[in-house]
Structure 1
């Protein structure tokens, strides 16, 4: 019978370094904590690095700037706002598919997404390329998902011939509260019930106009 020797085989010294994805997750968690603890004014790379337990240099190796960090945050929480169609749901009517991908389901846990938009807009005059890339990436995913479902309905004859790219953009604007209104007056942010009511009304109007 073998007798285990205490400590044998255990590596000593510094703990193993985290992988790239683990470090990204650590930083995004830190971003949430920084906002909870210090509000919008604390959303700096220095403060996020401190809360994540790493140097600013390490943070910049993971995210090249605040724009990249903010974009990654929206990749993380994007399913809160728009979701991919579940597998096997492609045969459902368009109204049901749009509900699966667009209908509001949960209250926003914090105002952090809105504050990030405010930060991006504030930096846009000095860094227009960052703001442009951020918004294009964020909107491109949403437009792609909605346009894909409209194209599916167009092929099946469920809707009349339309410019699916244009209709996708209009539909997104109809189903979600105007971002400028929320930025100008955060007190106007809608409750989950209000967001669902807006969604249902917008989808009803859109489908009446799209019906074949």
Structure 2
């Protein structure tokens, strides 16, 4: 029995989709195809031709949306980071600093999405020499974005006199706190059973890290 390998793009072509679609829908369809292909086959085998076939459109159409593989992969990572790191809602903004920080450090991903995120990260790292800028961008769009959000919350509290810190020092404290609150990414990459899903252990670590940090910087109680 002749079965096609899952990385064979011809065996995974989407059929029956309308020719006309909105630009945003076309973009999302392409990025969905990239994510699926990267997880199944790795970054090195994710060609524009394979993505086009997986998405059920021509390679020319893909190039009209993304002018290169690197741009395509980059946009894919940006979208994934936005999914993982949602900004605080207006309701969350009214909570205490500890609760706001806990919200920022909580990745609300389903099991499937969490596993896919880890596999995408492994795929990019395995191709870091071929695509060095992608590895750097992961740090910028994922961790860098999280550092920014944490820093913003610290600055808010500093300016209202609730933290014994100076605004210029907020960044280094945001990085330190984030690294305390989140587990090492090495375990996610090396342990096949590791997951980005939230667990009781991860929640306990977050709360402990936040508590130690706030005590260390002389945080005033939330009013």
> For the superposition of Structure 1 and Structure 2, which TM-score range results when normalised by the shorter chain?
0.7 to 0.9
**How big is the shift at 1:155?**
0.6
Change (3 A) 1:92 1:192: closer
From 78, 83, 86, the equivalent of 1:83 is 86
SS, match of residue 172 in structure 2: helix
CA–CA separation in structure 2 for the residues paired with 1:32 and 1:85: 26
**How big is the shift at 1:191?**
5.2
Q: Compute the TM-score of the two structures, normalised by the length of structure 1.
A: 0.77
From 144, 155, 158, the equivalent of 2:159 is 155
From 198, 216, 221, the equivalent of 1:192 is 198
Alignment match, 1:5: none
- Correspondence 1:1-212 to 2 at 5 A: 17-34=20-37, 38=40, 40=42, 44-45=46-47, 46-78=49-81, 80-110=83-113, 111-162=115-166, 163-189=169-195, 192-193=198-199, 194-212=201-219
Aligned length, in residue pairs: 197
CA–CA separation in structure 2 for the residues paired with 1:84 and 1:200: 19
Alignment match, 1:7: none
- Give the gaps of 5 or more residues in structure 2: 1-17
**How big is the shift at 1:48?**
2.3
Q: Compute the TM-score of the two structures, normalised by the length of structure 2.
A: 0.73
- Give the gaps of 5 or more residues in structure 1: 1-14
Higher relative contact order, structure no. (Cα contacts within 8 Å, ≥ 6 residues apart): 2
Larger radius of gyration: 1
**How big is the shift at 1:115?**
1.9
CA–CA separation in structure 1 for the residues paired with 2:35 and 2:127: 20
The superposition leaves residues 68-111 of structure 1 with CA deviations (integer Å, 9 ceiling, x where unpaired) of 33443344343553221212543432101112322244444242
RMSD (CA atoms): 2.8
